[in-house]
Amino acid sequence: MALTLAEGAKLSNDVLLEGVIETVIADSPVLQRLPFVEIVGNGLTYNRENAAATAAFFNVGDTWAESTPTFTQVTTALTILGGDADIDNYLARTRNNVQDLEAAVLQLKAKAVQQKFDDTFVNGDTAVDAKSFDGIDKLCVAGQTATMGTNGATLTLAKLDELVDLIRGGKPELLLVSRRTRRSLSALSRASGGIVEQDRDEFGRMVQYYDGVPVMVSDFVSDTKTVGTSTDCSTVYAVQFGEGAAVGLAGPGGLQIERVGSLETKDATRFRVKWYVALAVFNQLKIAKLVGVRP
């Protein structure tokens, strides 16, 4: 069963871990919604559908044609994401509340882990960093890519509709944009009489919705990509989550906090925030992108 980090945190009795998970999902629209499947082993091998089966009408006595879907076998390996955080023993002893100090330091480390995951979710490329995993920009195939033109162009609602329609089997559950693109979409909404709605999401935050799909900002969606002769282009990503779509993969226990212990070379205690994690896309029709979005 796939669970988001927020739901998984409810199953933990570790108060410190719950606080770290709250920190991780607080500013991440991806981790707030992305479900995770816990796997045993160092990776997952699964079949990704390439082409669907077909059907036809037949007359009595006709020879029936066989048609089955085709698949590509894909293996996604878990990566090791994390970092160490040292708690100075002097500060720990002289502070009134040791737990507050530990929590503060670990939350900062958790924030770094969250930002690295968010960056890799979008821009990950194992050809650049073999220790990481491929992100949605690389996993999105040509047939699932819409474009604003040879050299890019300013965003239009028609192109945004085209992007939404590239997702099959339901609407996307998230449109991921840069801050600049969100401003452009807000301007389009005002000019068109309010096509973009605002409402509170499940976390109580005010969120923009386009055609019922939440529009969320990621600081890791670049505004400086090159399309044709333009070097100021951004991308809009559409993603559908779930076990038949895009899911996170995690090792047993999910996100973990490990007490490494006292250090030999300095008066401090080390904690380790670690996460065996990856991204799997079971059906490439569940992710899409619109490239060449200019200011």
Same domain, yes or no, for 118 and 219? no
- Per-residue pLDDT band for 9 (boundaries 50, 70, 90) equals low
Strand-strand pairing, 287-294 and 145-147: parallel
Q: What is the pTM of this model?
A: 0.89
Give the closest residue to 106 by CA, choosing from 10, 5, 11, 16. Answer: 16
Same domain, yes or no, for 33 and 120? yes
Chain-wide mean pLDDT for the chain? Answer: 89
pLDDT for 133 equals 96
Same domain, yes or no, for 11 and 114? yes
Residue 56 lies in a domain: no
pLDDT for 100 equals 76
pLDDT for 98 equals 54
Same domain, yes or no, for 115 and 157? no
Same domain, yes or no, for 109 and 121? yes
**Read out DSSP for 31-60?**
HHH--EEE-SSSEEEEEEEEE--------T
Give CA–CA dist 252/3, Å, rounded.
13
The CATH number linked to 120 is 3.30.2400.30
Residue finishing a domain among 242, 266, 290? 242
- Per-residue pLDDT band for 190 (boundaries 50, 70, 90) equals confident
pLDDT for 34 equals 94
Same domain, yes or no, for 149 and 15? no
Same domain, yes or no, for 11 and 112? yes
Same domain, yes or no, for 84 and 148? no
Highest mean pLDDT among 39-43, 206-210, 229-233: 229-233
Residue 59 lies in a domain: no
Query: What is the count of structural domains for the chain?
Result: 2
Same domain, yes or no, for 125 and 19? yes
- Total residues found in the chain within this entry: 295
Same domain, yes or no, for 229 and 155? yes
Q: Is 277 helix (H, G, I), strand (E, B) or coil?
A: strand
Question: Domain span at residue 200?
Answer: 143-242
Give CA–CA dist 295/283, Å, rounded.
32
Same domain, yes or no, for 107 and 194? no
- Per-residue pLDDT band for 48 (boundaries 50, 70, 90) equals confident
- Per-residue pLDDT band for 182 (boundaries 50, 70, 90) equals very high
- Per-residue pLDDT band for 11 (boundaries 50, 70, 90) equals low
pLDDT for 55 equals 92
Residue 230 lies in a domain: yes
Same domain, yes or no, for 183 and 162? yes
Residue 181 lies in a domain: yes
